[in-house]
Structure 1
Amino acid sequence: MLPQIKKKLKINLERILKDAHLICLITDLVIRMRKIPGHATAETIKNYLENIINHFEFDKTKITGVVCDQISSLRS
Structure 2
Amino acid sequence: MKLAYSIQETCGLLSIGRTTLYALIGRGDLTVLKIGRRTLISAKSLDAFIGAVEGQGRGRSDRNSPGDVGHE
Normalising by the residue count of structure 2, what TM-score does the alignment of the two structures yield? 0.31
- Greater RCO structure (CA 8 Å; 6+ sep): 1
